[in-house]
C-alpha cells in the first residue's frame, strides 16, 4: 500500500517544525502517493513555514501555560477543549494511518485524540531534557524517538529508540569545497574563519558580545561570518567590512559550515545535531530563556564528552577572552574537539525515525 495518510503535529519554534518537515519529506520519498496534513498552533511560525515547504496545515487555538497568572492562563482550559474538539474532527475527516508529534504544545491535543482512537502515534523528542507535552503523552504513544542517552528518566524504556534529530539533507551530503565557500562570502582563503550562529531570530546576548569583542576577535587574525538574526540586522549591519560579513539569515548553511574553522552558537537541539555532523570546534552559549534550561543540558551532553566548550551568559564578560583565545591558540585542542563532536553525530536520524513509523504501519 502506498496511499497512506499521515498527520504531523508540532510547532511553536523552528526546533519543532523543521524536524516534522524533514520526516514528512522522507515519508513522501518512500510513499509518493501518501497524503500529509500538519496540525499546528494558530498564529505561530508553523502556519507560515509548513506551506512554504509544500504541505497543508490546520491551526488549533492553543498556547502554552504561562508561568504567572495572566488572562492567557484563564483561557487555557477553553483553548484545550477547543483544540481537542477540532483535533477529533480532523482525525475523523482525514483518517490518518499514523500521527507523528515533534513536540511543542500544538502537538498535545492531536496526539491525545489520535492515541485515544488507537491510531499509531510516534513522538520525536529533540532535547536531552524532555518537553512537557511529550512527557504528558509518553504512555499513550507506541514509540518515542530520542537524540540522547539516558532518556529513561522521562519515558518508558521499552518505547525509546535512539535515532538522533532530523537535520537538513544538504548537511548530510555536504559537497562544497572550502575555496568555493569562502569566495561565496568574499573572504580570504588564507585566514581562519569564525562562524557565529544565534538561531533564525538571533540571540541578543551573543550579538552584544560579538559587537563588544569584534576588535579583539580580529586581533587574533580571524575573519567573521556573523548571523545576527532578523530581529537585529538593522542594529548590527554597520559592523560589515572586508573581514566581517553580517547576515540576518543564511540560505546556504552548507557554505557557512564549510567556510568555518571555529564556531560560536546557541545550543538548541537542532543546532547541536547539525554541528555534530559538521564536526568543527564549537563554543556553545546556551539561551537561559528556554523551558527547563534545556539548551544548557543539550550543550553539557557534548561538553561532558570533551566534544565542545560552554560559556553561560553570566560568565561572558569575565571569561570569554581567556576561553576563546585558549581555543584559537591551541590547534591540537581544536582537533580533539572536532574528532569528539563527530563521534556524537547521528546523520541518518530522519531515515531511522521513518523506519520506526514504517514498523507501526505494518
Residue numbers in the known binding site for UDP-N-acetyl-alpha-D-glucosamine are 13-15, 127, 168, 200, 295
| Pair type for strands 309-310 and 244-247 | unpaired
Residue 115 CB partners (closer than 8 Å, separation 6+): 99, 121, 137, 140, 141
Residue 244, burial from CB neighbour count under 10 angstroms (0-12, 13-18, 19+):
buried
Binding site membership: which residues? 13-15, 127, 168, 200, 295
Residue 318 CB partners (closer than 8 Å, separation 6+): none
E strand residue ranges, the chain: 5-9, 35-41, 57-60, 98-101, 121-125, 143-146, 160-162, 193-197, 223-227, 244-247, 262-265, 282-284, 309-310
Measured CA to CA, the distance from residue 132 to residue 122 in angstroms comes to: 16
Distance of CA 63 to the CA centre of its chain: 20
β partners of residue 121: 99
β partners of residue 9: 39, 101
Measured CA to CA, the distance from residue 198 to residue 265 in angstroms comes to: 6
Buried/exposed 65-82: b ≥16 CB within 10 Å, e otherwise: eeeeeeeeeeebeebbee
Residue ranges in 36-144 assigned as alpha helix (H): 46-52, 71-94, 107-116, 132-137
The continuous run of DSSP H or E covering 327 comes out as helix 316-328
Which cell numbers hold the place of 264?
A: 560560536
Amino acid at each position: 500500500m502506498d496511499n497512506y495518510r499521515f498527520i504531523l503535529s508540532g510547532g511553536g519554534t523552528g526546533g519543532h517544525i523543521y524536524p516534522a518537515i524533514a520526516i514528512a519529506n522522507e515519508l513522501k520519498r518512500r510513499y509518493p502517493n501518501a497524503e500529509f496534513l500538519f496540525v499546528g498552533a494558530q498564529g505561530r511560525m508553523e502556519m507560515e513555514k509548513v506551506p512554504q515547504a509544500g504541505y497543508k496545515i490546520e491551526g488549533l487555538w492553543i498556547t502554552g501555560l504561562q508561568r504567572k497568572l495572566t488572562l492567557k492562563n484563564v483561557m487555557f482550559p477553553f483553548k484545550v477543549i477547543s483544540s481537542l474538539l477540532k483535533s477529533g474532527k480532523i482525525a475523523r475527516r482525514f483518517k490518518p494511518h499514523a500521527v507523528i508529534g515533534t513536540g511543542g504544545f500544538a502537538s498535545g491535543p492531536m496526539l491525545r485524540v489520535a492515541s485515544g482512537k488507537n491510531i499509531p502515534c510516534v513522538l520525536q523528542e529533540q532535547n536531552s531534557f524532555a518537553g512537557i507535552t511529550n512527557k504528558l503523552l509518553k504512555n499513550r504513544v507506541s514509540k518515542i524517538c530520542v537524540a540522547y542517552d539516558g532518556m529513561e528518566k522521562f519515558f518508558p524504556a521499552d518505547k525509546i529508540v535512539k535515532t538522533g534529530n532530523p537535520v537538513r539533507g544538504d548537511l548530510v551530503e555536504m559537497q562544497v569545497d572550502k575555496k568555493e565557500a569562502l569566495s561565496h562570502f568574499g573572504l580570504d582563503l588564507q585566514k581562519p574563519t569564525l562562524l557565529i550562529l544565534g538561531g533564525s531570530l538571533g540571540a541578543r546576548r551573543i550579538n552584544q558580545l560579538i559587537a563588544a569583542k569584534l576588535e579583539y576577535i580580529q586581533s587574533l587574525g580571524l575573519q567573521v561570518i556573523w548571523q545576527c538574526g532578523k530581529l537585529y540586522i538593522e542594529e548590527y549591519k554597520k559592523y560589515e567590512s572586508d573581514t566581517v560579513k553580517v547576515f540576518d539569515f543564511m540560505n546556504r548553511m552548507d557554505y557557512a559550515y564549510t567556510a568555518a574553522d571555529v564556531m560560536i552558537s546557541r545550543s538548541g537541539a537542532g543546532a547541536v545535531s547539525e554541528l555534530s555532523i559538521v564536526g568543527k570546534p564549537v563554543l556553545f552559549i546556551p539561551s537561559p530563556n528556554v523551558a527547563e534550561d534545556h539548551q544548557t543540558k543539550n550543550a553539557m551532553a557534548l561538553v561532558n564528552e570533551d566534544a565542545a566548550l560552554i560559556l553561560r551568559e553570566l560568565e561572558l564578560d569575565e571569561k570569554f577572552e581567556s576561553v576563546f583565545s585558549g581555543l584559537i591558540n591551541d590547534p591540537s585542542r581544536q582537533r580533539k574537539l572536532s574528532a569528539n563532536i563527530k563521534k556524537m553525530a547521528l546523520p541518518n536520524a530522519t531515515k531511522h525515525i521513518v523506519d520506526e513509523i514504517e514498523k507501526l504501519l505494518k
